[in-house]
Structure 1
Amino acid sequence: MLVHDRRGAGPPLVLIHGIGARRGAWDPVVQQLAADRETIAIDLPGFGESSPLPAETTPSIDAYVDAVERFFADAGLDRPHVAGNSMGGGIALELARRGSVASATALSPIGFWSPLENAYGQVVLKQTHFLSARAGGVLKRGVGSAAGRTLMLSHMFGRPAAVDAEAARQDIAQLAAAPGWSGTLAQLRKYRFTNGAALDGVPVTVGWGTRDRLLVYATQSRRARQALPHARHVALDRCGHLPMSDDPDGVAALLREASATSGPHAG
């Protein structure tokens, strides 16, 4: 069973974080959503407090989709709504492809990059992990001020000064310690989203921060629109790669709207 936080009441909405993150990435929006959704924020295998995938399992996107489907069964969830960010967005879309969910919302999802953009993203993520592992103490002190957060977190957030300092410290520690990091990052560069028509049976929403500097909004959101012409596409104004922190009210409203479609609830 994946480590998770289950809050609120209503149609179940499973929240899936990105590589190197943890279930706490969704904290800025959970309180609002829990008023009329049962939110289930999970730690993916090898991240947060969840155990890694088995040693013999290649940490591919398909393997993570399998793990989330097993979690649905373990938690008594029959085709819940899902929302994912970054790698979690890719997982959400692949769950929709399998027909395992009632709706899928993907915030700045992976898989719509060009080869050059893919390589750029790998470099940025490797540098971020290196600094977290080798200079974590300096980073944790630096994010204590608004100016420090602006300097150190602007590649991930559109409004870094507004990020909670303690949450940023926990994120740095989690990234440095995550056992799933290296293997998963190596597999991510192989992933491409394909065959968007296979998702037409499931309501899909794609939200993208206009200030996303990791998975660049201008080009990658355009490819997502082309690949998923029947999905709802939303530009998240002034948001970066992690829009949940940049605009909690707007993202919570988007997730509520996207998960308003009828579908089976928890068993």
Structure 2
Amino acid sequence: MTLISAFVAATDLPGRSVRAAAGYLCDRLIATQPEPEGGGRWREDGEVVVPARTASFVEGRAAGLEPVTVAYEQQGTGEPLVLLHGVGHRRQAWDAIVPLLAGQRETIAVDLPGFGESPDLDPAVPRDLQTAVAWLGAVLAELGVERPHVVGHSLGGLLALRMGQAGLARSVTALAPAGFWTDAERRYAYAMLAAARHSVRLLPDTAMVRLAHTAVARTALAGTLYGRPDRCPAETLIADLRALRAATAFGATLRAGRAPGLFTGDIPDVPVTIAWGACDRILPPRQAARVQAMIPAARLVQLPDCGHIPMNDAPDLVARVILEATPSASEEQ
């Protein structure tokens, strides 16, 4: 059983609070924790040395809105390709993919407001999708990027599709886009995501670091999100879990996602590719059929052995799907 699934089950026990459930699971995992991989020893401070990352910042000013500032990283050469992450994640979600794209595309990986290094939205800025598309358009204009290819995952996939509808994208590639759920599926996805955040916030950092360095515990920590948690480096998992814990916009983003009709209509004039992990436990792959029903011309790609975050499970495959879905002008000739 994964940590998140166990957390949900533990909170269902009579009289067990969220905090008590997290402590109960923490004690169980640490008590049964195997030795670290490779025969190493734990660092007493529980810290992991991660190379420093330098973000750039841009401020978008859409008509009638307060300015929105986002952190981003721009790499590579070629036609611009914007990368949008999912809820609770950050621009580093694409770290395994960017090196595979950078020789052929100019990638612009963005921290959405309230995630990663981007400050949260001003309280005066609504969190609806129409407003998000407006400030994203203003950010792209400030960067001097006109109608880039847009690739998004989960929440970012939904944003990418809406940008395609608004004429802001040359092509759209959506990995497991959010918003194509039934009410029951949304409640399930929200319960799993909220449980992940609660468990990470209540799990002591040193315990999380120790657990992430063993294969068994890494599966417990990330098995719900990844199809192959064993392929996720411990340092990456630790940094991602810390980002989830620190995501100031997490709750407000989930609340905004309860709105009906997050995506309606078609995208008739923009090439659309929908890719879905066959082992996605957060947004089941059957939801892909609903996307294709709304966007009949969309190309549908299944990602074998991939979970909800396929960028870590199969970076070569995901990069290939993105490159095929985002041809340059010379490649189209």
Residue type of the partner of 2:154?
A: S
2:301 paired with 1:239: no
Give the greater-gyration-radius structure (CA).
Answer: 2
1:225 to 272, 292, 295: 292
Count of residues in Structure 1 that have an aligned counterpart in Structure 2: 261
User: How many Å separate the matches in 1 of 2:241 and 2:185?
Assistant: 24
Q: Is the 8 A contact 1:14 1:81 kept in 2?
A: yes
Give the letter for the 1:6 counterpart: Q
Distance in structure 1 (CA, Å) of the matches to 2:131 and 2:255: 14
Letter in 1 for 2:130: D
Kindly indicate whether residue 214 of structure 2 is the aligned counterpart of residue 149 of structure 1: no
2:269 is the alignment partner of 1:169: no
The residue number in structure 1 matching 2:327 is 260
**1:144 to partner: Cα distance:** 1.4
Higher mean alpha-carbon deviation, 167-176 vs 52-61, is at 52-61
Structure with bigger RCO (C-alpha 8 Å, 6+ apart)? 1
Kept in 2, the 8 Å contact 1:211–1:241? The answer is yes
Residue among 173, 177, 200 paired with 1:109: 177
SS at match of 2:93: helix
Q: Indicate how the Cα distance of structure 1 residues 9 and 213 shifts in structure 2: closer, same or farther if over 3 A, else same.
A: same
Task: State the shift of 1:66 in Å.
Answer: 2.3
Q: 1:81 aligns with which of 145, 149, 160?
A: 149
The alignment's C-alpha RMSD in Å is 1.4
Structure 1 segments of 4 or more deviating over 4 A? Answer: none
1:25 is aligned to 2:90: no
Which residue pairs with 1:124 in the alignment?
A: 192
By how many angstroms is 1:73 displaced? 0.8
Q: 1:70 maps to which residue?
A: 138
Q: More displaced, 136-145 or 3-12? A: 136-145
Q: Does 1:53 align with 2:121?
A: yes
Query: Identity of paired residues, percent?
Result: 39
Instruction: Find the aligned partners of 1:205 and 1:87 in 2 and give their Cα distance.
Output: 16
Change (3 A) 1:21 1:191: farther
Write out per-residue CA displacement over residues 159-192 of structure 1, whole angstroms, 9 at most, x where no aligned residue: 0111011111111111111111111111112253
The residue identity in structure 2 corresponding to 1:223 is R
Q: What is the deviation of 1:262?
A: 3.7
Q: CA deviation at 1:109?
A: 0.2
| Secondary structure in structure 2 of the residue aligned to 1:18 | coil
Q: Specify whether residues 262 and 196 from structure 1 end up closer, same or farther in structure 2 by C-alpha distance, changes over 3 A only.
A: farther
